[in-house]
Structure 1
Amino acid sequence: MEPPSNLAPHSTLNNLFNLTTTYRQDSDIMVPYGQISEKTGGSTTFKIPYKSKLVCWIVSRWNSNYKRSQYYENLKQHISIETYGRSFNRPVRNEDYSDLISSCKFYLSFENSIHKDYITEKLYNPLKLGTVPVVLGPTRKNYEELIPGNAFIHVDDFSSPKELAEHLKLLDQNESLYRQYFTWREHFVASSAYFGPEQACWACDHIRRNKNYRVVKDLNSWFWG
């Protein structure tokens, strides 16, 4: 579930595995960090949670060389950001996490590494909890392969952190514009993955439906190449 830059290649992995199961779409068994699925039954009306904060960010692994850290340092010059996590000496308890995220109008869903398809719970949790994610990661096109384009804000859509900040301030002052980021909730819901059990279930289902044999000969080139 980690991207190539967070893992070291191992030559012993070659000619060993029959199938791949990762977050990547080109895996034999793709297990994303979350998903958008069609709403079934019940009311089509989604109530946006009460918002007491504008922009929030939880970080427990700080690295000044990360693109997300550098972008944050620029963005905070133009808009107030409520920061939490061990990196800011404000740890968040598990029982407080959902209430915190849902109380924010926007959440900085900034990935620690930029790789195709590496879109983590940092995106799916805010979506599930009724908060608009501001994403920094792969391209907007890549995000839109997995979630509706009007469900999030991408930093690449703006020429600078200052321009992004001005857009967030505009949405804060215009309720109708802000609500447009929730229109997808009329037909869809967001959910997070349960790692371990989810991979096992999806792998068992794949094997049941696919009886053909294959082997992944060069895993290093495929994943780290």
Structure 2
Amino acid sequence: MTSKPSTGCLQHIFIASALLLCSAVIFYMYYKPTMSWLPCSDTALPKQDVCTEECLRVLEVENQTQIITDCSAVQEKTPTTQSPVLEKEDTANPHKPEIVVLVWKWPFGEQFDLESCESNYGIKGCRLTLDRNQLDKAHAVMFHVRDIGGEVSNLLTLSRPPRQKWVWMNMESPAHTPQLHGADDLFNLTSNYRRDSDVWVPYGRLIDISEKDEPFKIPEKDKLVCWIVSNWNGNYRRVGYFNELSQHIKVEAYGRHFGRYINKEDYAKVMSSCKFYLAFENSVFKDYITEKLFNTMRLGAVPVVLGPSRENYEEYIPGDSFIHVDDFKTAQELAEHLKLLDQNQEMYEKYFAWRKDYVVQHSAFGQEHACRICDHVRRYKTFRIFKSVNKWYWS
């Protein structure tokens, strides 16, 4: 006599059949969405939510785990909960088109490697070119503002694709940058040291120390305070401050004005031999913190800075890594502080505490701008108009 299946197992088989049916519905929902007889018809929105709720209602029964333990046949037929369509969407890697950036001119005539965006910055899919025949194909054109002063009228006549980005690139402060008259509507992106520019490229930055970096050791010193200056102008604040400071402390000054020219080979040697270096900017503007600071830190001297506020500097480097002239009421007070540090090695060495965690990384002028412009254009597809670069930069 053949035994009949128990009522409990029949119930479990029924539930499993319902699960199989619901899985079939989900399958047809993704691959045959136009078939109106499906439970998820075009009139039921959203489709995925409706079908998912129907399936979940089947699963909302008591002793759900008992289905697996009591009916092995049902276990074998239980459908997978993974969706092959969703897996394809998650793992797909669609090919991204190459971004072309036309470098209109070498900035200041300084050439750089056009094929190093990926190796130097990890930016893939970029092609930099100097070929102006590629103008109609370029996604962006980088103009170094200091090199196009007499070309504005010609640039205004060029035919450019409507979505092409023309990038105003510059690293000089407003005091040393000419305004381009008639170019208010010429550019739609900016690349600059200022953090409110579209493509921000500072003169330098501190990055985490790596295993390949050698442990830092303060270089041997035989000079107290140094300054190397090429651009001497009696109207600059830094010149007036130097003249006063040098009355209270000996400053080893180099440059054409002092008849002590320093070449590139001797620059690092002289800088490293100084306990303090006057990293004085030629003009004072927000975020205008140049290689003078970062060279000093990299070569093992303590920077004495004259530029934007201390708060602005501390947005770039630790507050205990530099001395700001504004921390002292007079240049004489600063001189006395430097003499104190000269006599107290422990206090002096505290200015190098940051070297345990960071190293200096310089920006590559021109090259980094072009590569980061490429990355920006790839990332951001939104419409952008820059009505007046002159108003933005000189306001």
Report TM bin, short chain. Answer: over 0.9
| 1:75 matched to 2:252 | no
Structure 1 Cα separation of the partners of residues 217 and 232 of structure 2: 34
- 44, 47, 59: which one aligns with 2:217: 47
Number of residue pairs the alignment of both structures matches: 225
- 29, 32, 46: which one aligns with 2:202: 32
- SS, match of residue 200 in structure 2: coil
One-letter code aligned to 1:193: S
- SS, match of residue 24 in structure 1: coil
One-letter code aligned to 1:78: H
CA contact (8 A) 1:33 1:120 kept: yes
One-letter code aligned to 2:174: P
- The aligned counterpart of 1:127 is 297
Structure 2 Cα separation of the partners of residues 202 and 23 of structure 1: 13
Percent identity over paired residues: 56
- The aligned counterpart of 1:152 is 322
- SS, match of residue 12 in structure 1: coil
- SS, match of residue 199 in structure 2: coil
- SS, match of residue 48 in structure 1: coil
One-letter code aligned to 2:260: R
More displaced stretch, 38-47 vs 138-147: 38-47
Structure 1 Cα separation of the partners of residues 210 and 318 of structure 2: 18
Structure 2 Cα separation of the partners of residues 183 and 107 of structure 1: 18
- 202, 209, 213: which one aligns with 2:383: 213
Structure 1 Cα separation of the partners of residues 376 and 272 of structure 2: 35
Which deviations, in whole Å up to 9, do the C-alpha atoms of 1:137-167 show, x marking residues without a partner? 0000000111111111000000100000000
Structure 2 Cα separation of the partners of residues 52 and 35 of structure 1: 28
Structure 2 Cα separation of the partners of residues 198 and 94 of structure 1: 22
- The aligned counterpart of 1:140 is 310
- SS, match of residue 305 in structure 2: strand
- 268, 293, 303: which one aligns with 1:98: 268
Structure 2 Cα separation of the partners of residues 2 and 25 of structure 1: 14
Offset at residue 13 of structure 1 (A): 2.3
- SS, match of residue 119 in structure 1: coil
One-letter code aligned to 2:195: Q
- 163, 187, 191: which one aligns with 2:333: 163
Offset at residue 171 of structure 1 (A): 0.6
Identify unmatched segments of 5+ residues in structure 1. Answer: none
- SS, match of residue 185 in structure 2: coil
Structure 1 length as normaliser, TM-score? 0.96
- SS, match of residue 49 in structure 1: coil
Alignment of 1:193-212 (within 5 A): 193-212=363-382
Structure 2 Cα separation of the partners of residues 6 and 109 of structure 1: 18
- The aligned counterpart of 2:187 is 17
The 1:43/1:63 distance shift into structure 2, 3 A limit, reads: closer
Structure 2 Cα separation of the partners of residues 179 and 43 of structure 1: 20
- SS, match of residue 189 in structure 1: strand
One-letter code aligned to 2:189: L
CA contact (8 A) 1:16 1:215 kept: no
Structure 1 Cα separation of the partners of residues 385 and 299 of structure 2: 40
Structure with the larger RCO, 1 or 2 (CA within 8 Å, 6+ apart): 1
Runs (4 or more) in structure 1 with deviation over 3 Å come to 42-45
CA contact (8 A) 1:44 1:187 kept: no
One-letter code aligned to 2:173: P
CA contact (8 A) 1:3 1:118 kept: yes
Structure 2 Cα separation of the partners of residues 21 and 178 of structure 1: 37
- SS, match of residue 223 in structure 1: helix
One-letter code aligned to 2:181: S
- The aligned counterpart of 2:79 is none
Structure 2 Cα separation of the partners of residues 87 and 208 of structure 1: 47
- SS, match of residue 196 in structure 2: coil
Structure 2 Cα separation of the partners of residues 63 and 55 of structure 1: 20
- The aligned counterpart of 1:8 is 178
